[in-house]
Structure 1
Amino acid sequence: MSTVEIEFCLPCGYLNRAEDVQHVILESLGETIDEITLVPGDNGVFTVTVDQQKVFDIADDDYNVDQIVRDVRNNT
């Protein structure tokens, strides 16, 4: 079982994206996840980590919910 953390820029309006990612991860992988948390941040941050390993960073990757879920699945 894994722990997923989604850190998002609150001032940038990324809350909806973070909630969307959280929802899809729970629907797709809920039985393999121990915990999934949303962490408000700033300065344009939007990252997803699995067991403290970064699997998505909006600074490096295009935002694609399906790809994020695949990356989470591959790291759980």
Structure 2
Amino acid sequence: MTRVEVEYCVPCGMANRAVDVSHAILTQFGESIAEAALVTGDDGIFVVRVDGTVVFDLSEDAYDVDAIVRAVRPHVSS
């Protein structure tokens, strides 16, 4: 099953964003994913990976929870 990982910068105070994204992913995909993990990081990181593949990187994309969920969708089996 699919594993989603949200790595976020702790010193930057991005925990709330990480929780919001994880909540949206769990709400949308429920039992279709095996795990939605929060991974602590630093240096401004905010990256969402699905089975190791980066689907969102804050350094390249604008933060938008709905867009992140849409980016995860093609990687999740129904």
Question: What TM-score, normalized by structure 2, do the two folds share?
Answer: 0.94
Instruction: Give distance in 1, aligned partners of 2:27 and 2:47.
Output: 19
Instruction: Give distance in 2, aligned partners of 1:31 and 1:56.
Output: 22
Residue matched to 2:71: 71
Residue matched to 1:43: 43
Shift of 1:68: 0.1
Shift of 1:74: 1.5
Question: Is 1:16 equivalent to 2:13 in the alignment?
Answer: no
Instruction: Give distance in 2, aligned partners of 1:55 and 1:72.
Output: 7
Alignment of structure 1 residues 18-37 onto 2, 5 Å: 18-37=18-37
Shift of 1:55: 0.2
Instruction: Give distance in 1, aligned partners of 2:63 and 2:38.
Output: 17
Give ranges in structure 1 of 5+ residues lacking alignment: none
RMSD over equivalenced CA pairs, Å: 0.6
Give ranges in structure 2 of 5+ residues lacking alignment: none
Alignment size in residue pairs: 76
Q: What letter is aligned with 2:56?
A: F
SS at match of 1:13: coil
List, as ranges, runs of 4+ consecutive aligned residues in structure 1 with deviation greater than 3 Å.
none
Question: What TM-score, normalized by structure 1, do the two folds share?
Answer: 0.97
Identity %: 54
